[in-house]
Structure 1
């Protein structure tokens, strides 16, 4: 009885089970209940829709320790057009979620952001982050490495104890002008910046309905503006306020 209960509480996704997980994800089949935790030992590759139905997932050591070291693997890798919904990523979360093109992240919660919560790649990708939350994002929550075209929309999201909610890559080998819209976000300090974008590369971010609260809320920047590059050098910060062009902000409340 005790062993059976233990198996119900924590199931391990070993490599041989990942294929079944993918098939279940595509079919929209329940993967884990809100009372269960699954340990992911190999990246779950998703096409179609993966509905976790409130399940909680943590990364095994095979993927990474959830620190800031580069090169960790994603827990979930979304193919172009895929959706991840109703999932909680516990700690450690390794490198979170990778979107290889257009994707939707709906009601996804990160209890403790690993290297990044989610990374966006691909040319012309359209990304929607709707609902959900993230906490303890030491550096970046959403990392945008997309190439030309497409957009990122982040709405109705909550973030707590964070570095940057959104960062347009400042020193990727290939760069592009990136467009992002952020609305209906509640950011609880401590935190550094809601959006960091590259002025010289043509980035555009529009923010509205942002509430910044908590101890240290006055220290949180709405926008940080950078000069980005494609050489790998550290990007240079040139401003810390909306400029009305690269960063347009309305309806910002600091409590």
Structure 2
């Protein structure tokens, strides 16, 4: 099973990964081009050696300083890619909690939501659905992403106490948990101002694994009668009169959508109430 959110957010992460690859492609192209210049060109400025590029005058740095200029640009780009990846996942968590509420009619109270980070809200909601849960390391990793995103976007100069405690208390455990997936990312490292090329690749890879893990865990917890109701509510907006032929046709449509969106086949009994009552003119 799966949630209907899975492919939507995997595509977003895949698009982000494509943009990262495009940036790395351009970076290598510039590196190769600069390698063709001779030492005596080092003091020349970008407009001299890239006269056909309309932006060379805007940058206006010497060829010798261009690599360091690119490194600073990389810091901004990698920070942006990482921040976007977290925002995508944050949106996924909010959307999946809404689906749980719609389908299983289980939600958090206002007091449970108040001042509670999104990953902790999701963890609490899952605890209301099941006696088991994804590993705690999954939620600790999401917390790491959130706090590191905050460090970047809020232009912080030092780690918050919460982030520092997470690194000190859970860093080694997270390194062990993700050892098969990471090549350079180190959860014990408190020097997070710089995101390296291998590190951003690790961060995006783990983000995808977490999304798949949570989606795979939540999907089987969704009630099938609730899935039928959810599909009918979004499919049959305009009330119509109903008869046996329409009921049969609706069941075919709802079951097809359940298979496509949720990866599950529904029985007549599981669909019966929804197709007969939702979007029906009285």
TM-score, normalisation: structure 2: 0.21
TM-score, normalisation: structure 1: 0.22
Q: Quick check: which one's helix share is greater?
A: 2
User: Which is greater in Rg?
Assistant: 2
